[in-house]
Amino acid sequence: MGTITGIAAIGAGLAAVGAGIGIGRIGGSALESMARQPEMMGDIRTNMIIAAALVEGVALFGVVVALLQG
């Protein structure tokens, strides 16, 4: 029982770390795009927030599935 719980915790941690890396890349790319085309800042920001929310939703789903296995 302990091994399954440990593996579930590792899976939940990997989901959280993956989401953090993904959202960081989204934010960095959005800031670079805004620096290149400041007139598109509103559209880029909106798309960035939507993409980050989708990544966060998938990560939350991954954490819940991993923890339900334990």
Query: Other C-beta atoms within 10 Å of 6: how many?
Result: 11
Q: What would the CATH number be for the domain defined by 2-69?
A: 1.20.20.10
Is the confidence at residue 70, as pLDDT, over 70?
no
Whole-prediction pTM: 0.81
Residue-wise pLDDT tens digits, 15-42: 899 999 999 999 999 999 999 999 999 9
Q: What does the domain layout of the chain look like in residue ranges?
A: 2-69
SS3 16: helix
Tokens of 2: 């302990």
Burial of 62 from C-beta contacts in 10 A (0-12 / 13-18 / 19+) = middle
Q: Torsions phi, psi of 52, nearest 5?
A: -65, -40
**For 37-49, what is the mean pLDDT?**
95
